[in-house]
Amino acid sequence: MVKYLLLDIEGTVGSISFVKDDLFSYAEKHYKEYVEQHYEEDQNLHALGDSPESTLSAIRKLHAEGSKDRHFKHVQGSIWKDGYKRNELVSHLFPDVIPFIERALQIGSKVYIYSSGSVPAQKLYFSHTESGDILPFLSGFFDTTTGIKTESDSYKKIIGDSDAREWLFLSDNINELKAAQRIGIHVGLVVRPGNETVSETEGIPVYHSFDCLFTE
């Protein structure tokens, strides 16, 4: 039995296009404004540069690189928080996600999120979905402060003293799945519209939908 369900966000529960075309582009449009308004009090901005100008330059470079730098991700998350408050952003969920999570909860499983986005950004995402606030469905969140998603040690930290065989991790990234699988976690590759094609799944189960999971 799966007691713990671990879910990725981008390309798994929500579309890659929403993250890239909506969230990332929204942040990009507001970097300059955010730096100008918050440079004095936001220590994450200070960590990225020694002046507003150098910080903005660094942020734009990190954005272009798709960086996972924690200070940069904090800035993105803060910008998204403002966007959600203004109702300018609404998170995308695939239609099979909420029924799937509800089925998991009905059999006593706990649902966790593991994403490269910061934990505050994750909470924003799930509190402002097209179906409303679904944070009450979720038991916890992990980001890159726990560890890199392609390293097995990260998953050891997540599961703690629990049995790895009681976990199921679902992601669109085959390298993340391999890292989790190496410590005994059950894994599944999620294939969604717009995801990159994975040519070799190496025996990892493939799911085009969650409709077949946790059903009798």
pLDDT in tens, 166-182: 999 999 999 999 999 99
pTM as predicted: 0.88
Q: Cα torsion for 51, 52, 58, 60, to the nearest 10°?
A: -170
Strands 4-7 and 110-114: parallel
* Per-residue pLDDT at 37: 96
Q: According to the model, what pLDDT value does residue 200 have?
A: 83
- Measured between its terminal Cα atoms, the distance across the chain in Å is 13
Q: What is the pLDDT of residue 210?
A: 97
Low-confidence ranges of the chain (pLDDT < 70): 216
User: 10 Å Cβ neighbour count for 125?
Assistant: 29
Amino acid at 85: K
pLDDT value for 127: 96
Cα–Cα distance for residue pair 44/38, rounded to 1 Å: 10
Contact 33, 26 (CB under 8 A): no
Cβ–Cβ < 8 Å for 149, 176:
yes
Sorted by where each starts, the structural domains of the chain and their CATH numbers stand as 4-16+91-207 (3.40.50.1000), 18-85 (1.10.720)
Q: What is the model's pLDDT at position 68? A: 83
